[in-house]
Chain A
Amino acid sequence: MTSDVAAAVGYQDPPPRKGFFTDTSVCIGCKACEVACKEWNAVPEDGLNFTGMSYDNTQSLGADTWRHVAFIEKPAASRSSVSLGMPTIGPPTGGTPTDRTPISSDVQNQAVPDVVAGQTQNAGTPDFQWLMASDVCKHCTHAACLDVCPTGALFRTEFGTVVVQQDVCNGCGYCVSACPYGVIDQRKDDGRVFKCTMCYDRLSVGEQPACAKACPTESIQYGDLDELRERAQQRVDTLHAAGMADARLYGESPDDGVGGNGAFFLLLDQPEVYGLPPAPVVTTADLASMWKHAAVAAAGLVVAAGVAFFGGRE
Chain B
Amino acid sequence: MSYQPTTDSPQQARKSLQGWRKRRGERLMVPPAEFTSYYGRAVLKEPTWEATDIAGYLFLGGLAGASSVLAAGAQASKRTELERASKVTAIGAISLSMVALVHDLGRPERFINMLRVFKPTSPMSVGSWVLSGYAPLAGLAAASRITGRAPRLGAAATAGAALLGPAVASYTAVLVADTAVPAWHEGFRELPFVFVGSGAAAAAGLGLLAAPVAETGPARRLAVLGAAAELAATARMEQRVGLIAETYHQGRAGTLLRAAKLLTTAGAVGGAMLGRRSRVAAAASGAALLAGSACTRFGIFEAGRASVKDPKYTVVPQRERISAADGFADAEPADT
A258 to B39, CA, bound (A): 25
Interface size of A by Cβ–Cβ distance < 8 Å? 82
- A297 x B125 contact (CB < 8 A): no
The majority secondary structure among interface residues of chain B is: helix
Indicate whether A75 reaches chain B with its CB closer than 8 angstroms.
yes
Q: How far is the CA of A273 from the CA of B41 in the complex (A)?
A: 10
B219 at the interface (CB under 8 A from A): yes
B188 and A290 form a contact (CB under 8 A): yes
Judge if A180 is at the interface, Cβ distance under 8 Å.
Answer: yes
Contacts of A180 in B (CB 8 A): 44, 180
A-B contact count (CB 8 A): 266
Q: Is the Cβ of B35 less than 8 Å from the Cβ of A272?
A: yes
Does A95 have its Cβ within 8 Å of any Cβ on chain B?
Answer: no
Minimum Cβ distance to chain B for residue A130 (Å): 10
Given A59-B41, A80-B333, A172-B106, the answer on whether A177 and B221 have CB atoms closer than 8 Å is no
In the complex, A300 has a CB within 8 A of chain B: yes
Enumerate chain A residues within 8 angstroms of B291, measured Cβ to Cβ: none
Which candidate, A21-29, A31-39, A183-191, is the interface stretch facing chain B? Answer: A183-191
B3 touches A78 (CB 8 A): yes
Option from B106, B125, B318 in Cβ contact (under 8 Å) with A191: B106
**A298→B124 contact, CB < 8 A:** no
Closest beta carbon of chain A to B263's beta carbon, Å: 20
Q: Which residues of B are found within 8 Å of A149, using beta-carbon distances?
A: 119, 122
Indicate with 1 or 0, residue by residue over B115-134, a CB within 8 angstroms of chain A CB atoms. Answer: 01101011111001000000
Q: Quick one: CB contact mask for A100-129 with B, threshold 8 Å, 1 for yes?
A: 000000000000000000000000000000
A and B contact pairs by CB, cutoff 8 A, 14 listed: A149-B119, A150-B128, A153-B113, A169-B110, A190-B106, A192-B106, A272-B319, A277-B43, A283-B177, A286-B185, A289-B189, A305-B72, A308-B218, A312-B217
> When A and B form their complex, which 3 residue pairs have the shortest distance between CB atoms, in order from nearest?
A171-B106, A191-B106, A275-B38
A-binding residues in B (CB < 8 A): 2-3, 35-39, 41-45, 47-49, 65-66, 69-70, 72-74, 76-77, 104-108, 110-111, 113-114, 116-117, 119, 121-125, 128, 162, 165-167, 169-171, 173-174, 177-181, 185, 188-193, 195-196, 199-200, 204, 217-219, 221-222, 225-226, 229, 311, 314-315, 318-319, 321-322, 332-333, 335-336
